[in-house]
Amino acid sequence: MKILVIGSGGREHALSWKLLKSEQVEQVFVAPGNGGTAKLAKCQNLPLTEFPDLAQAVTNYDIDLVVVGPELPLSLGITDYLQKHTQVKIFGPTRQGAQLEASKSWSKALMQSAGIPTARGATFTNSRDAKSYIQAQGAPIVVKADGLAAGKGVTVAMTIADAMEAVDTLFETNPKSLVVIEEYLEGEEVSILALTDGQTIRSLVPAQDHKRIGEKDTGSNTGGMGAYAPAPLVDAELSKQIQQQVLNPVLKELQKRNIDYRGVIYAGLMITPQKQLKVLEFNSRFGDPETQAILPLLETPLEELLLACANQTLAELPPLSWSNKTAVCVVIASGGYPGQYVQGKIITGIETAEAQGVTVFHAGTKITPEGELVTAGGRVLNVVATGENFSQARERVYQGVACLDFEDKYYRRDIGYRLTQNS
């Protein structure tokens, strides 16, 4: 098989790396790719982002399967475009299905219609009504941008003043936008990534992500600063509950709306101290950095799963096969992220880190014309280690992180801190 992966982040590097482990995969192309995918054997970066160019590449390179990584091209209809202009198999929902992530208000209405447990909330078209609602509800309260925000469109406001400020910022940025305001929920967040062909839905191992920039989950939201899998919080009973209360109903509701959804449904869940679950959000693609922690544990060939989703044959596959190890991913970011940061810093230590037994996925990197690897984004590298248990994986990953360097690097030193607190 020849596979085209669309995207340029750590998730796309991890997908390409995993696909290339299969003897069935002859070559992977990544558009546009990054400094890491450029160095993978049997992998080629294509400097393409426009839909007509991607369709042309499908024909030129005789592509068998397209795997769409990021949410933006999905929300803009890359799947619809390729379906219209090529005969290629595609893993990734249509524009209609991608609204699950692209519109918080659409997604909220879908959850309510499907009877999926979620936070109480309301959608607003102006700041006056939004602020009146906040005054009536009190704080803490959650303010969300309706559209895509690269994982950074959510403000967990601990005071009414913070909530008001978040509302002002969102409406000033886009006066025609919608803003969703929800009750604040206590508990632990869990990421459930499930694969679907539109008829069957199968969950991958659960992961926990660390969204906040600061240690002990403080400070601004980011796209994710680290993750681990599997998350022990999700036991067999909770897993069954998630399938029955979240995954099956969301697929049924999509079917009811005649949406042919073939790709990932990512459920961001809050598990309350009483072990009740509430859906915080749905995403329409592989999570980043959860994918980097999940894929090293997957033993079923990835291309078999993605192709079965595209072909609507997922029910015919045997149960997924998993390693019994634990994986931990630590994100190394540019100083200043998720705010302003400087790009173009020289990166060193990757070979040394990988000699320690970790895998380094590139997120925001590029190779200069002089052949130097430099930073090219807010989240720069994802360092992943596996171990017989969480402690071993965590120790290994931080040994790997210590080998890597670029000016003003930043990372959280407490990925998985809840597990160390509980042990």
Each residue's pLDDT, cut to its tens digit, for the chain (423 residues) gives: 999 999 999 999 999 999 999 999 999 999 999 999 999 999 999 999 999 999 999 999 999 999 999 999 999 999 999 999 999 999 999 999 999 999 988 999 999 999 999 999 899 999 999 999 999 999 999 998 887 765 557 888 999 999 999 999 988 888 778 899 999 999 999 999 999 999 999 999 999 999 999 999 999 889 999 999 999 999 999 999 999 999 999 999 999 999 999 999 999 999 998 889 999 999 999 999 999 999 999 999 999 999 999 999 999 999 999 999 999 999 999 999 999 999 999 999 999 999 999 999 999 999 999 999 999 999 999 999 999 999 999 999 999 999 999 999 999 999 999 898 765
Q: Are 380 and 364 in contact (CB under 8 A)?
A: yes
Q: Which two tokens stand for residue 71?
A: 């949410």
Q: Is residue 219 domain-shared with residue 303, that is, in the same domain? A: yes
* 21 within domain boundaries: yes
Q: Which two tokens stand for residue 97?
A: 């299905």
Question: Do strands 43-45 and 65-68 pair parallel, antiparallel, or not at all (unpaired)?
Answer: unpaired
Q: Is residue 215 domain-shared with residue 177, that is, in the same domain? A: no
* 109 within domain boundaries: no
Q: Is residue 208 domain-shared with residue 298, that is, in the same domain? A: yes
Q: Is residue 300 domain-shared with residue 236, that is, in the same domain? A: yes
Q: How many CA atoms lie within 13 A of 324 on its CB side?
A: 1
Q: Are 380 and 360 in contact (CB under 8 A)?
A: no
Say what the pLDDT of residue 275 is: 85
CATH number of the domain encompassing residue 137: 3.30.1490.20
Could you say which of 281, 316, 351 is where a domain stops? 316
Q: Is residue 175 domain-shared with residue 207, that is, in the same domain? A: no
> Which DSSP string corresponds to 47-58?
---SHHHHHHHH
* 106 within domain boundaries: no
Beta-carbon count within 10 A of 369 CB: 5
What are the angstrom distances between the C-alpha of 12 and each of 5, 150, 161, 394? 7, 15, 39, 23
Instruction: For residue 187, give the DSSP letter.
Output: S
Could you say which of 62, 95, 128 is where a domain stops? 95
Amino acid at 90: I
Overall domain count for the chain: 4
Say what the pLDDT of residue 422 is: 63
Q: Is residue 302 domain-shared with residue 239, that is, in the same domain? A: yes
Q: Is residue 88 domain-shared with residue 22, that is, in the same domain? A: yes
CATH number of the domain encompassing residue 393: 3.90.600.10
Q: Is residue 367 domain-shared with residue 416, that is, in the same domain? A: yes
The tens digit of pLDDT for each residue in 234-265 reads 999 999 999 999 999 999 999 999 999 999 99
* 115 within domain boundaries: no
* 110 within domain boundaries: no
* 105 within domain boundaries: no
Q: Is residue 154 domain-shared with residue 72, that is, in the same domain? A: no
* 78 within domain boundaries: yes
Could you say which of 79, 95, 111 is where a domain stops? 95
CATH number of the domain encompassing residue 53: 3.40.50.20
Structural domain range at position 27: 2-95
Question: Do strands 208-209 and 201-203 pair parallel, antiparallel, or not at all (unpaired)?
Answer: unpaired
Instruction: For residue 318, give the DSSP letter.
Output: P
Q: Which two tokens stand for residue 22?
A: 């299969």
Bridge partners (DSSP) listed for residue 214:
218
Q: Is residue 79 domain-shared with residue 160, that is, in the same domain? A: no
CATH number of the domain encompassing residue 289: 3.30.470.20
Q: Which two tokens stand for residue 299?
A: 């033993």
* 267 within domain boundaries: yes
Q: Is residue 358 domain-shared with residue 250, that is, in the same domain? A: no
Q: Is residue 335 domain-shared with residue 297, that is, in the same domain? A: no
